[in-house]
């Protein structure tokens, strides 16, 4: 097991999940893997990677993932295969080429390269639209998990129409009223939406209801296509399209979402999920912390591959 004894106290507390620095469930990195059997109802999942938002923001600079992001994605895929079912990568040609170069494509049951923006969206503003574009290529039941999210056990999904990582509260800073948005005259916000419905964090998103999937995508893309130069802090428009619209579509259908994390107590032990979330910046800025985190990922990946024997690994 990776040794953290040489690190500063604050770094140790972060890695052990004793303080919240933008990551959830860090303590799982140092805990033994569960010996629970794989879910009896396997659920195929997808990681999604669209390169267009990166190139819109960074020009022609070659895309690269930090070492800790590479190993988080690898561990995320292997954990899903161990406990929940197959996992696929949905990406574009540039994304598939990069994942092949670093050997990360080997972690997936398949790599699909048909992802592209067929709507001409503002990819800088709608940087997570790749997940919505991927959902158009799927049918319910379907699952998308972020590459920085780890699921350590079988997910209880039996009979669920909708599941997400957690709810989020309505705050003006992240979720302003609809009159904040600058929209095309062709667009009208639906009058039958429940605007008090709490948004759903889609770092983990399960859709078990096909009509909800269709309605959600229809409304999300309609919003993104008709949005016009709304002042944005980097998340307002994207989170409305991806997370608030989902909740309001579910409320319209009187569907109660299942969630797995308590948004009001993220520092609590989370034996089911680890999400590195906004702590990725912290990990990148501290090489000693990154080294320990990567070592933990490598240990877990090795153990998972030794148990299954189905995935060779290539290490940068």
The answer to whether residue 50 is domain-embedded is yes
Q: What is the pLDDT of residue 171?
A: 93
The answer to whether residue 100 is domain-embedded is yes
In the chain (316 residues long), the average pLDDT of successive 10-residue segments reads: 79 91 95 95 96 74 90 98 98 95 97 94 94 97 98 95 97 95 98 97 98 98 97 95 98 97 89 95 95 97 79 43
The answer to whether residue 69 is domain-embedded is yes
Q: What is the pLDDT of residue 315?
A: 40
Provide the CATH number for the domain around residue 299: 3.90.550
The answer to whether residue 149 is domain-embedded is yes
Query: In terms of residue numbers, what domain contains 64?
Result: 43-171+201-213+257-308
The answer to whether residue 180 is domain-embedded is no
The answer to whether residue 229 is domain-embedded is no
* Total-model pTM: 0.94
Looking at the 3D structure of the chain, how many domains does it have?
1
What is the rounded CA–CA span in Å between residue 284 and residue 162? 33
Q: What is the pLDDT of residue 311?
A: 44
123-257-266 Cα angle (round to 5): 75
Q: What is the pLDDT of residue 59?
A: 67
What is the rounded CA–CA span in Å between residue 258 and residue 217? 19
């Amino acid at each position: 097991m990776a040794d953290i004894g040489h690190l500063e106290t604050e770094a140790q507390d972060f890695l052990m999940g004793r303080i919240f620095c933008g990551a959830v469930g860090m303590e799982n990195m140092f805990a033994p893997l569960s010996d629970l059997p794989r879910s009896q109802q396997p659920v195929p999942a997808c990681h999604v990677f669209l390169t267009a938002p990166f190139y819109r923001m960074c020009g022609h600079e070659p895309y690269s993932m930090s070492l800790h992001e590479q190993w988080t994605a690898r561990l995320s895929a292997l954990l899903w295969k161990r406990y929940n079912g197959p996992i696929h990568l949905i990406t574009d040609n540039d994304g598939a080429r990069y994942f092949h170069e670093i050997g990360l494509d080997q972690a997936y049951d398949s790599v699909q390269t048909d992802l592209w923006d067929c709507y001409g969206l503002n990819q800088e503003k709608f940087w997570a639209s790749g997940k919505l574009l991927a959902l158009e290529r799927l049918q319910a039941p379907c699952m998308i998990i972020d590459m920085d999210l780890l699921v350590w056990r079988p997910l209880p999904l039996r009979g669920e129409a909708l599941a997400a990582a957690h709810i989020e509260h309505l705050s003006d800073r992240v979720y302003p009223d609809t009159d904040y948005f600058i929209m095309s005259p062709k667009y009208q916000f639906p009058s039958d939406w429940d605007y008090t419905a709490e948004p759903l964090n889609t770092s983990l998103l399960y859709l078990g209801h096909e009509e909800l999937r269709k309605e959600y995508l229809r409304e999300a893309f309609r919003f993104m296509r008709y949005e016009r130069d709304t002042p944005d802090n980097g998340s307002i428009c994207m989170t409305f399209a991806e997370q608030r619209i989902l909740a309001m579509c579910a409320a319209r259908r009187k569907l109660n979402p299942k969630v797995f994390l308590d948004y009001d107590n993220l520092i609590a032990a989370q034996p089911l999920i680890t999400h590195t979330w906004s702590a990725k910046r912290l990990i990148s800025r501290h090489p000693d912390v990154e080294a320990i985190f990567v070592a933990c990922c490598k240990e877990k990946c090795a153990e998972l591959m030794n148990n299954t024997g189905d995935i060779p690994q290539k290490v940068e």
